[in-house]
Chains A and B, each alone.
Chain A
Amino acid sequence: MSEPINVSMTVNGSRVSCGVEPRSTLADFLRQTLALTGTHTGCEMGVCGACLVVVDGRVVHSCLMFAVQAGGSVIETVEGLTERAAIADLQDAFHLRNALQCGFCTPGMLMTAYSLLSQPGIPTRDEIRDALSGNYCRCTGYEAIVDAIENVARDRDAASIAQTREEAGA
């Protein structure tokens, strides 16, 4: 039962193919086999949000998924989103607003924010707090995180309005 099974997937843009134990979670696989330690585990039961990653465009708990279930999937972790600068504005906003202390929850927070802000419009503070309802943070008290996400939402919206105007004007 613990014989490794071969799985292939795309992780942060690279094709990965290797044997994994059937009982290995995606979180453990990413952290231990691929050394992508930006993904954290805080509860291993789907409640803290530290382990969130993008699987086929959806943000999922990597602690609740077996690595073998991710066969054929396209996966992105905080390292991948960082490298392709997909969350650079969020990271800057978190930095400036000091929206992290120990940083252990932070990759998960960024995943939630990434997903929330991929929807159109500017979420209200309540909507941001609601979106973060599966992300536990012991250090910050959340307000700075809400502020940082709100700031990015505004900036992105302003940028897209400016772009629309520019296109209309052109």
Chain B
Amino acid sequence: MNALTSLDRPNSYIGRSVPRPNAKRLLAGRGRYVTDFVLPRMLHVAYVRSPYAHARIVSIDAQAAREMPGVKLVATGQDLARLCTPWVGTMDHFKGMKSPPQLPLPVDKVVWSGQAVVAVVADTRALAEDAAETVAIEFDELPVVVDIDAARMPGSPVISPELGSNLCFHGKIDTGGVDDVFANAAHIVEEEFHFGRHTAVTMEPRAIIADYDASEQQLTVHHATQTPYQFQDIYSRHYGIPESRVRVIAPDIGGSFGMKLHMYHEDMAVVGLSIMLGRPVKYVADRIESFVSDIHARDHRVRARMAVDADGEILAMDVEDVTAIGAFSAYPRTSVVEGNQVYRLMGAPYTFRNYRADLQVVFQNKVQMSQYRAVGHPIACAVTERLVDMIAAKTARDVFEIRSGNLIPDDAYPCTSPTGYQFEALSHHACLAKLRQMMDYDRLRAEQAQLRSKGIHRGIGIATFVEITNPGPAFYGVGGARISSQDGAIIKITPSGDVRCLISVTELGQGTETIIGQIVAEHLGVDRNRIKVITGDTETTPHGGATYACRGAGIGGETALQAALKLKANVLSVAGAILQEASEKLDIQNGWIIDAATMHPRVELAEIARIVYFRSDTLPPGTQAQLSVTHHYAPQGYPFAFTNGVQGCHLELDVETGLVNILKVWVVEDCGRIINPLLVDEQIRGGVVQGLGAAFFEECAYGDNGQLTNGSLADYLVPMAVEMPDIEIGHVETPTLDTQLGAKGVGEAGTAAASAAALNAVNDAMAPFGGSIAQLPMTPARILKALGHI
């Protein structure tokens, strides 16, 4: 007889692949994205943008625009500065970091090409654009700061002279002893890496409608964002509207990936425009505007070296990262987090203890760089894993062997990384072994050798990683940013025995509402079809962190779990009173109150609800039933729940053209307790493809004058279906013991290591030619150059 698994219990949903109830609506074309919204008397804004990367605004002549058909308002930086207080993208825990104040629209100068300067509001977007074309802005060009080295040279033009230099932040980590280790090492490998800028290219661009009602001093913002509470706080504070009168609604969102949690100037301006007009104002970025105003990601030059002893044991790493972030640090999360994670995550999977790193975060005249999926991880992973492969080559070891000799043993936890990250429990070796078997590694190597003799050049690359998930207040809160690391849920039982859960984590298509429904169903004891999960509205859901840094399942999920247990206790208490039974002897299953020992059904949950809501007169005196609960959960214990895993990449390189055909990718991932394998795997696949985009295609190309030269979807290459491989996924499950749920995050794992594995695979394919590459994206031209063909 087959043993029963935990999934055979009634209402067992955690660990089960169930599809997303809310996906059917999207499939029927009934999604409701901000882009789709039309409000009564709604107006549209178009922005006049700067053609220069750095220039003083001499004058603005908007008279002609004001007289154009349908135009309701033309507003400049001065107009909005009267309503909106400036913001500064710094956090206290980044000691010494600086950034200039920002306003919705600039008042005296522009600092990147594409910066919005004048807002034109009209009856339709087309009319607003027509009028915007007639606005004449006179600029006085200033010297442009683009290059990361030139920006830091003495005598370089300083973008914000009040800050004294173009250096936003300088960080150092030094465990000591690094020079000695390198002096005595048997081998040293070193490399200079370049990581280009890329950007989110969400399918739905940024979209926002601000609707200010002066009669009630009420601001309602329909905002395609992953963090509505953060924006409620920002709009309230910067426009001086009480928080209770600011409502931010995040409906269906067409992709986000970290891009839609930053403050954008156009979005802030829309709020002010609505206040000025007393009418709803809508802004939807078109694709070209997205390229010049959405945050860009990465942009690092890393010089790194690694020391190893004669036995192939890694001893130390020495790293210098220079990253360029645009003319200011993004708000409210800052643009230092990316570099901070790069230099703290270096070498994190390995045992070595000696580490030194220098991080410089530099201002330049480009659009802001800030957090995007897998913040910093792909850089730290690619640098570390490439150096490890270089050591393998230098010491004539296999790439699996060098890793199994140096990864932190699976039984060595808890432990810390040289940079102070605390690891509760990771499973590098289990993952590595599983990957080897999934890849059928030995066969691939044999095949590779065989094909090489036929002039076919395949490459095999692997990359281990750790990922930061479930961040506590150490991430933002301690730095003074008003970004919550806790979440809140309200769960109610309706009079007919259905369940509504309003929770602060948000849905972006990753499946938040589905997994929250699974967790509540399992822990309350009801069928998941009877549960409605509601997210994305600050008016109805409790304040919480929402969605960032892989926290939805781990923190939001635990919030839902604890809330469900609290509600269950309330239900059983009133059921006990009704049934004249001790509540400990009762349980809930399939929407029935049952005898916990015999599983015998006693009374339906719906009947309890009916009595509570309509016949409280029949309850024993003194019974005040609580069929709604509010519960908050803030992570305690470890500052972050680290996950880990390893990826493998198999590809074929055409050495004549430099083109790469990605044959297959494997991922073994340990995100702790898996709530829904179907959704977890698709998070990983989507993440891997974003990582492969960065590895091979995506780059925001700039000219020396600070002009973005490929700002359209025809010029900026994104990964498409034909170029992408099938991706095989395996799991190791090491639940965190910090929560009852045991879940960690998974949304960024795919992106964290995909480009590193690809980099190693391309270098592996090139090995017989003696070439090597250390720049992403690995375009055909760069590959041919590495091969010495051009």
Contacts and interface: CB of A to CB of B under 8 A. Distances in A.
Contacts of B201: 138
Contact of A133 (B20, B36, B722): B722
Interface in B22-63: 23-24, 26-33, 35-36, 38
Interface string B279-304: 00000001100000000000000000
B27 A40 contact: no
A141 B509 contact: no
Contact of A42 (B204, B678, B727): B204
A94 B287 CA distance: 27
A100 B685 contact: no
A40 B509 contact: no
Nearest to A43: B713
Contacts of A77: 29
B726 interface: yes
A94 B20 CA distance: 11
Select the residue from B509, B678, B721 with max chain A CB neighbours within 10 A: B721
B726 A143 contact: yes
A140 B27 contact: no
A101 B721 contact: no
A117 to B, nearest CB: 16
Interface residues of chain A: helix, strand, loop or mixed (majority):
loop
Contacts, number: 172
A126 to B, nearest CB: 8
B205 to A, nearest CB: 8
Interface stretch (A65-73, A103-111, A161-169): A103-111
Contacts of A96: 19
B718 A140 contact: no
Interface stretch (A3-11, A45-53, A54-62, A151-159): A45-53
Interface in B481-533: 508-511
B254 A40 contact: yes
A141 B727 contact: yes
B685 A141 contact: yes
A122 interface: no
Contacts of B29: 36-39, 77-79, 82, 107
Interface string B109-144: 000000000000000001000000000000000000
Interface string A1-29: 00000000000000000000101000000
Contacts of A106: 26-27
Contacts of B286: 44
B686 A141 contact: yes
B689 interface: yes
Contacts of A39: 29
Contacts of B591: none
A95 B721 contact: no
A34 B200 CA distance: 30
B236 interface: no
A170 interface: no
A132 B36 contact: no
B287 A101 contact: no
Contact of A98 (B35, B202, B252, B678): B678
A114 interface: no
A40 B32 CA distance: 11
Contact of B508 (A41, A101, A140, A143): A101
Nearest to B37: A37
B117 to A, nearest CB: 23
Contacts of A37: 29, 31-33, 35-36
Nearest to A102: B509
Select the residue from A48, A139, A143 with max chain B CB neighbours within 10 A: A139
Select the residue from A43, A135, A137, A141 with max chain B CB neighbours within 10 A: A141
B679 interface: yes
Given A47-B713, A91-B24, A104-B203, A140 B682 contact: yes
Given A104-B31, A141-B682, 12 more contacts: A36-B29, A42-B203, A42-B713, A79-B28, A79-B30, A94-B27, A102-B255, A104-B254, A105-B203, A138-B686, A140-B689, A144-B682
List 4 A-B pairs, minimum CB-CB distance, nearest first.
A38-B29, A103-B26, A104-B254, A101-B509
16 contacts: A21-B126, A37-B31, A40-B254, A48-B203, A100-B27, A100-B509, A101-B682, A104-B33, A106-B27, A136-B718, A138-B255, A139-B203, A139-B255, A140-B686, A142-B720, A143-B726
